[in-house]
Amino acid sequence: MQLRVVTPAQIVFEGTARSLVAPAWDGWVGVLPGHAPFLTLMGEGPMTVETESGDRQSFEIGGGVMKVESNTVTVLADHVATG
């Protein structure tokens, strides 16, 4: 699936991912390829992404929204710290 993580200041990540686990406003959400359409407010905490190559990347997310549609995930975050 295609993943794009952006803040008002920059594109933090853009690429292909096998999976992601992220903090939603009411708990954790996991997304795999083929996920049903989904829209949620983001919470605060770590988001873990497994890239197509099998590497894991972590981002500290602070607020925003996440949209899943047509095998594309877009995270519009208030702020993101890479780790």
Q: Which of 22, 12, 28, 6 is nearest to 76 (CA)?
A: 6
Report the number of distinct structural domains present in the chain.
Answer: 1
- CA Rg, the chain, in Å? 11
**Domain of 68?**
2-82
Dist. CA 23–CA 44, nearest whole Å:
6
Residue 51 has pLDDT above 80, yes or no: yes
Which tens digit of pLDDT belongs to each residue from 24-45?
A: 999 999 999 999 999 999 999 9
pLDDT of residue 59: 95
Residue 74 has pLDDT above 70, yes or no: yes
| CATH number where 70 lies | 2.60.15.10
Here the tokens at position 56 are 């894991």
Query: Against a cut of 0.75, is the pTM above it?
Result: yes
